[in-house]
Each structure stands twice: as structure tokens, then as C-alpha cells.
Amino acid sequence: MFQAKDSSRLLPVTRRTILGTAAATPALGFSGTLADAPAAPDRPIRQAIAVVLDVNGRPQNLTLDSRTTLLDTLREHLGLTGTKKGCDHGQCGACTVLVGGERVLSCLTLAAAVRAPVTTIEGLAKDGTLHPMQQAFIDQDAFQCGYCTPGQIMSAIACVEEGHTGSDAEIREFMSGNLCRCAAYPHIVAAIRQARSVMVRS
């Protein structure tokens, strides 16, 4: 995803322009309903679907290729790039978001199949005040490169709300779906301990 398809263009290349060009999507054919969709076996199928999402409290009306994951919808169609694409196969947890209040992997979720409100890292701060978990990650220095951090924070909030923070061992077990290549794990556990007491109080 970090390969620029038009790196020869004489534009100042920033990370954002690279991502933007790589994300250019082809025009979609409209095949509409199932009845007319399956064509000859060798013909590629393209189906555009009207998708209505609630993302961080805002309604979003989109027309998406049926293949579009929730992760790609957030990043490439809604500009919410806080949610990260790590492995894209449900193994690393970087893409963790809340759907209906439960933590799920947005890379293994089709946007068309989402039936409940979505909360991403961008939806946590209220009136300019960070969520206690975000503040705790800063206070406890719970990251180095930061790439896994949005997923860690979303997962950590769910971990507290599920009641799985009774001990450090329980926190580690219930955070095992979020990998940190920088190995900031001890500080992540400390951040969750800190945020837990704030979240439980409020």
C-alpha cells in the first residue's frame, strides 16, 4: 500500500499523496441485485452496493464495491486514517474498531455487512478532551512507532468494558489480539491499569 503508482509525477511526494494515489478506485459497474449478477463464469463480477453507516455518530451514505472492507471504507472513502492496516488478515489487531460497542477487526468485516454503529479512534475524544485510555497511553509512554496504537486503544477500551482487567495477566491475555512490533507491552498494560480506574469511576 505504500507503493506510489505515479512516483514519476513532479509533485512533492508526501505520505498522504502516496496513499491517495494508490487508493484511486476504478469506476464501478452496477449489477444491482443478485438475480442479474452472476455472469459467465470467467467474467469478473463488479457489484456496487448502497451502504449506510453510522461512524462516530455521523450517518454516512456510500456507494461501495461489494468487496470493500470496513477498514478500507474508513481509510479510503471516509478519510478516517486513524484506523491502521497492518496484516489485512485478522492477525495483528491494528484495524480494531468498535461495532455496536464490541471490538472487531475491520479488515475482516465487509462494509455492506455492518449493522451497528461504528466507533473509531477519531470518535473517542469529546470536546477536545482525550478519552481516558488515550490520555493513559500518553502518560504511560505506551508506544514507540505508534502504528498499532489506535488498535491497541480501541481494544483496550473494550477490554475494560468487558471486565477483563482484573490482573496484569488477565489484561495480557485479553489484549493478545493486538501485536506491538516495538514490544511496548509493559507500558500498554500500565496504561490500561491507569485508564481502568478512571473509566470505572466515571
CA angle at 112 for the pair 107 and 118, rounded to the nearest 5°: 65
Q: Please report whether residue 93 would count as binding other proteins according to CB under 8 A.
A: yes
Query: How many other CB atoms are found less than 10 A from the CB of residue 166?
Result: 10
What mask of x and - would describe binding to other proteins in positions 5 to 24, judged by CB under 8 A?
--------------------
Stretch binding other proteins (CB under 8 A), from 3-11, 61-69, 128-136, 189-197: 61-69
Query: Binding-site residue total for other proteins (CB under 8 A)?
Result: 43
Displacement of CA 118 from its chain's centroid (Å): 10
Does the footprint of other proteins cover residue 193 (CB under 8 A)?
no
Contact status: 26 vs other proteins (CB under 8 A): no
CB 105 within 8 A of CB 69: no
Interface of this chain with other proteins, residues 98 to 157, rule: CB under 8 A = 102-105, 107-110, 112-113, 115, 155
Please state the closest distance from residue 127 (CB atom) to other proteins, in A.
29
Give the Å distances, CA to CA, from 56 to 1, 11, 33, 197: 25, 34, 29, 24
34 binds other proteins (CB under 8 A): yes
From the CB of residue 65, how many other CB atoms can be counted at a distance below 10 Å?
16
Closer residue to other proteins (CB): 67 or 181: 67
Tell me, what amino acid is at 81?
A: T
Can you point out the beta strands (E) in the chain? 48-55, 58-65, 96-99, 102-105, 118-119
Q: State whether the Cα torsion 151-86-172-141 is positive or negative.
A: negative
Decide whether 12 or 26 has the Cβ nearer to other proteins.
26
Binding site for other proteins (CB under 8 A): 31, 33-34, 37-38, 41, 44-47, 49, 65-67, 69, 88-90, 93, 96, 102-105, 107-110, 112-113, 115, 155, 158-159, 162, 164, 172-178
